[in-house]
Amino acid sequence: MIIGVPREIKNNENRVAITPAGVEAFKVAGHKVVIESGAGAGSGISDRQYVAAGAEMLASPGEVFGVSDMIVKVKEPLAQEYDLFRENQLLFTYLHLAPEPELTGALLRKKVTGIAYETIQTSDGALPLLTPMSEVAGRMSVQIGAQFLEKHYGGLGVLLGGVPGVPPAKVVIVGGGVVGTNAAKIAVGMGADVTIVDKNPNRLRYLDDIFGARLKTLISNPYNVKEAVTKADLVIGAVLIPGARAPRVITEDMVKSMKPASVIVDVAIDQGGCVETIDRVTTHNDPVFIKHDVVHYAVANMPGAVARTSTFALTNVTLPYALALANKGFSRAVREDAALARGVNVIDGKVTYQAVAEALGLEYTPLQ
Ligand SMILES: NC(=O)C1=CN([C@@H]2O[C@H](COP(=O)(O)OP(=O)(O)OC[C@H]3O[C@@H](n4cnc5c(N)ncnc54)[C@H](O)[C@@H]3O)[C@@H](O)[C@H]2O)C=CC1
Ligand SMILES: CC(=O)C(=O)O
């Protein structure tokens, strides 16, 4: 199989979908890897390192898409990439289709086989190709929140950990999964007063067990969410229903009740966002906007800012699945691995992931 890796083009997306170790693994298995020149630069990987591992460098994305049986990427394709897809090409990447009708339409028209990292799900409910980036984004969310709480960034002028004689900031994390747990680790470590809200009581029990008295837990319902965010200095949005558009757990009324110059970091923005007042995705270049006197951060590729860490963390988990697709071919690979099969969102002009079909009002066709 020919595996193609284009350079990422989303704003400040410095990650790349393959490392030299991945190139070598494909070569040893008898495949060919083509990479767009410069694709690894943002992650500190040179063309020379890729060539030494056995890759061929190509000058343009058109050449990469043109010759490859499988495209391996990091982020969802952007509009300027839609014309590059070939019919029946395998596309292995984050897709986040539920809030992306145009991208979904392009994949269906071109009959691309789209396998989404974020919906590959093992039988215990884990999302192994989302987890490492959620670890990164969860940890980043607190450092970003701390920065935007500084006065000259538009925030309240509050130090997360407080100082002796002055109480710490109140951090409310809505969603206690991987992002939420990693955000809590950093916020607790910085000495903040941290509350985590989740709809799953067993998750709250687990968090209570691991954090003990350093963290407060709260079951998610509109009353509790409002009570918590009204008092918060920093709110982190971290809910997920796999594949679906994020539920808008934090309503406009709740945001209006927040303190002026408090901060919201909506990590769930890649699935459409869980805060009603966030009506647009922001970028690393222009990351925040103010609404109802509250600072809103809504960057959908947060790990792209710490690309060296993120590229290695991501490719550690994507490579085994990409190798399985190349070695066995698509049909056998998904037949033999139910977790991988759950990643298939579109194939042959049909939507094969129910939550995506429901979010976009499209017909759902089971993969079988
Ligand atoms: N913006 C970015 O750059 C990045 C965004 N993400 C996104 O962050 C989001 C969270 O990801 P993970 O933590 O890995 O998911 P997860 O599945 O580990 O955790 C989600 C949690 O949300 C909870 N939840 C669902 N509905 C809820 C509700 N109504 N109220 C309270 N809790 C609710 C679930 O019980 C679960 O514990 C996803 O949308 C993910 O794609 C992840 C990495 C980077
Ligand atoms: C998961 C995701 O949205 C990201 O890593 O950019």
Ligand 2 contact, 133 CB (< 6 A) = yes
In this predicted model, what pLDDT tens digit does every residue of 200-256 receive, in sequence order?
999 999 999 999 999 999 999 999 999 999 999 999 999 999 999 999 999 999 999
Per cent of the chain over pLDDT 90 is 99
Beta pairing, strands 90-93 & 113-116: parallel
Q: How confident is the model at residue 108 (pLDDT cuts 50, 70, 90)?
A: very high
Mean pLDDT value across residues 293-319? 98
Name the burial class of residue 290, with classes exposed (0-12), middle (13-18) and buried (19+) by CB atoms within 10 angstroms of its CB: exposed
Ligand 1 contact, 115 CB (< 6 A) = no
Ligand 2 test: best mutation among 10, 131, 239, 302, most atoms within 8 Å of CB? 302
Beta pairing, strands 294-297 & 288-291: antiparallel
Distance CA 6, CA 60 (A): 8
Instruction: Check the annotation: does 7 bind a ligand.
Output: no
Model pLDDT, residue 296: 98
CB 81 within 8 A of CB 16: no
Model pLDDT, residue 290: 98
Beta pairing, strands 234-237 & 170-174: parallel
Mean pLDDT value across residues 145-161? 98
Q: How confident is the model at residue 19 (pLDDT cuts 50, 70, 90)?
A: very high
Ligand 2 contact, 127 CB (< 6 A) = no
Model pLDDT, residue 231: 98
The values of phi and psi at residue 266, to 5°, are: -95, 90
Cβ neighbors of 28 (< 8 A, separation 6 or more) are: none
Instruction: Check the annotation: does 72 bind a ligand.
Output: no
Mean pLDDT value across residues 310-337? 98
Would you state the structure tokens that stand for residue 60, as one six-digit string? 């343009």
State the alpha helices, DSSP H only, in 215-366: 222-231, 252-256, 307-328, 330-336, 338-341, 354-360
Distance CA 28, CA 22 (A): 10
Distance CA 48, CA 52 (A): 6
Q: How confident is the model at residue 149 (pLDDT cuts 50, 70, 90)?
A: very high
Model pLDDT, residue 224: 98
- Which residue among the candidates 31, 69, 96, 296 is catalytic per the annotation? 96
In this predicted model, what pLDDT tens digit does every residue of 262-289 receive, in sequence order?
999 999 999 999 999 999 999 999 999 9
Instruction: Check the annotation: does 220 bind a ligand.
Output: yes
Element (H, E) at 65: helix 61-67
Ligand 1 contact, 174 CB (< 6 A) = yes
Instruction: Check the annotation: does 70 bind a ligand.
Output: no
Domain with CATH 3.40.50.720 in the chain: 2-120+307-360, 131-300
Q: How far is the CA of 166 from the centre of ligand 2 (A)?
A: 36
CB 297 within 8 A of CB 282: yes
Q: What does the radius of gyration of the chain's CA atoms come to, in whole angstroms? A: 21
Would you state the structure tokens that stand for residue 35, as one six-digit string? 């990479």
CB 173 within 8 A of CB 183: yes
CATH superfamily of 2-120+307-360: NAD(P)-binding Rossmann-like Domain (3.40.50.720)
- Which residue among the candidates 69, 233, 266, 270 is catalytic per the annotation? 270
Neighbours of 164 (CB within 10 A): 4
Name the burial class of residue 161, with classes exposed (0-12), middle (13-18) and buried (19+) by CB atoms within 10 angstroms of its CB: middle
DSSP structural state of residue 366: -
- Please identify, by atom number, the ligand 2 atom nearest to the C-alpha of residue 130: 1
DSSP structural state of residue 160: T
Averaged confidence pLDDT in the chain: 98
Ligand 1 test: best mutation among 95, 119, 130, 197, most atoms within 8 Å of CB? 130
Query: Vertex 299, ends 128 and 124: CA angle to 5°?
Result: 15
Could you tell me the fold of the domain covering 131-300? Rossmann fold (3.40.50)
Could you list the beta-strand ranges (E) of 258-317.
Answer: 263-266, 288-291, 294-297
Ligand 1 contact, 240 CB (< 6 A) = yes
Query: What is the residue type of 256?
Result: K
Is residue 270 annotated as part of the catalytic site, yes or no?
yes
Look at residue 282 and give its three-state secondary structure.
Answer: strand
Model pLDDT, residue 286: 97
Mean pLDDT value across residues 132-154? 98
Is residue 96 annotated as part of the catalytic site, yes or no?
yes
CA-nearest residue for atom 43, ligand 1, is 134
State the alpha helices, DSSP H only, in 149-290: 178-189, 201-211, 222-231, 252-256
Instruction: Check the annotation: does 15 bind a ligand.
Output: yes
In this predicted model, what pLDDT tens digit does every residue of 321-331 receive, in sequence order?
999 999 999 99
CA-nearest residue for atom 2, ligand 2, is 301
